[in-house]
Structure 1
């Protein structure tokens, strides 16, 4: 499930992601981001990931395809999770993302306020 957080404002969007994300949910998520991009040059995304967050193959492929075609429109991505896997994935991906001007950072759940502050700065 993907739920937009009420703190979302302007070009900064926050989402809570739990359970297995379906293709339909992925498409809805992309539509929300694209609606923001109609009014803003770039978007920043804060993703709060539960321990059960995962993507089906189709949803994951759709996500990857969208990101690859919109890299220049992404500014910052904050991943909020207590998972060491997500922490490792963000650390491994950050140098690649920086080549395209995307800033990524991982935060623990207890640092959610710091994540919001970072994504807004």
Structure 2
């Protein structure tokens, strides 16, 4: 489905990075199961080219999510694939509870996970070993 000028921007958007095996995503506002499905599609494209990828997610102006998105079949499938393909996972910003969730669940997987405050975003890019591509004028 093609977007029109009047359609709202997706809540989960791709961040262009300097490495093919580094996927960057930005979450802005409130996201739905459709947003998550699109995000997992972006990740699947990276998995198709690289067995292992790193992931940086920047969360700005977080307004929550639809609970149905957590239990959606495609979301569960996407999470299972992520466990097989993601090597390092950096989260920048987000609600205050995000750090605690990552601290609890991060060690339960083989994925190296770390949370950074929004003010420390540059440290997150260094930790993940890449950078955001700046748009060309």
**1:85 maps to which of 97, 114, 127:** 97
* Structure ID, larger Rg: 2
- Whether 1:102 and 2:111 are equivalent positions in the alignment is yes
- TM normalised by structure 1 equals 0.85
Report how many residues are paired.
Answer: 118
Partner of residue 112, structure 1: 121
Cα separation, 2, equivalents of 1:53 and 1:14: 20
Partner of residue 16, structure 1: 26
Q: Secondary structure at the match of 1:52?
A: coil
Q: Secondary structure at the match of 1:41?
A: coil
Structure 1 residue runs of 4 or more that deviate by more than 4 Å after TM superposition: none
Q: Secondary structure at the match of 2:127?
A: helix
Point out the structure with the larger helix share. Answer: 1
Cα separation, 1, equivalents of 2:116 and 2:82: 24
Cα separation, 2, equivalents of 1:25 and 1:8: 24
Unaligned runs of 5+ in 1: none
- TM normalised by structure 2 equals 0.76
Deviation at 1:37, TM superposition (A): 0.6
Aligned partners of 2:33 and 2:75 also within 8 Å: no
CA-atom RMSD in angstroms: 1.9
Deviation at 1:51, TM superposition (A): 4.1
**1:30 maps to which of 36, 40, 43:** 40
Cα separation, 1, equivalents of 2:16 and 2:27: 14
Deviation at 1:79, TM superposition (A): 0.8
